[in-house]
Structure 1
Amino acid sequence: MRKINNAWIIDDDKILTYVLQRIMGSVDSFDKIEIFQNGKEAINHLSVVKKDPDSLPDLIILDINMPVMDGWQFLDEFEKIHLDKKITLYIVSSSIDIQDHNKAKKYKTVSDFLIKPIGKKQIEQMVASYQH
């Protein structure tokens, strides 16, 4: 199975991030998993590590409904940052609104939009489709 050096979970739901971290650990394909409570935390960290490809995430799991900076605002900022590394990004949200799904398609950095809750099967599919 493929290895993902660094994965980021950007979501304010502490129970979900705990469960996702456990599932990702059980898949045994992730060396490091970092958790951010909102998009602002993640953007701030990204601006610190952007010059070091080893510190950048290979995979981002992003919620869209968060306080401080939501997923859409994160994506707007994320797409402005020039990175020398391709990062695979999945939106994982409880939103079933077709407008959210259509909006996600407008971002070139978004690989897919998955509906919560996600389980081991979806994580395994993310790993299987990951290309560095």
Structure 2
Amino acid sequence: MKAEEVDGGTLETWTVDEVAEAYERGDIALIDVRTPQEYMFEHIEGALLLPMSFVQADKLPSQDGKRLVLYCGSGIRSGKVARSCLAAGITPLAHMEGGFGAWKKAGRPHIGTDMATGAPKRVAP
């Protein structure tokens, strides 16, 4: 994990492996800040959708002590959203380095789209 001091607190940037391990243990809640179209095409199973354009930091869900981890396609949007949330006093908070692209590159399971039917399908490593 990398940590950087920004306005409002510490911005944590987690690797795909760190996110996957914490998610498997149930220690974090994942929030996908991509567009609804991107999410419908493919996403991490169980991740909540909260598109960047609709994020209101003061309205984020409480996770009873769970750290919120944001992700997007590449890590750029999630980093911007994380900074705005930290500035609003939302902690603990992190974002995933490399975004969903890095998740897929690492061979992690996710929900994709069956191109023949348009239906969602699990994609396993």
TM-score range, shorter chain: 0.3 to 0.5
Q: Which has the larger strand fraction?
A: 2
TM-score when normalising by structure 1: 0.43
TM-score when normalising by structure 2: 0.45
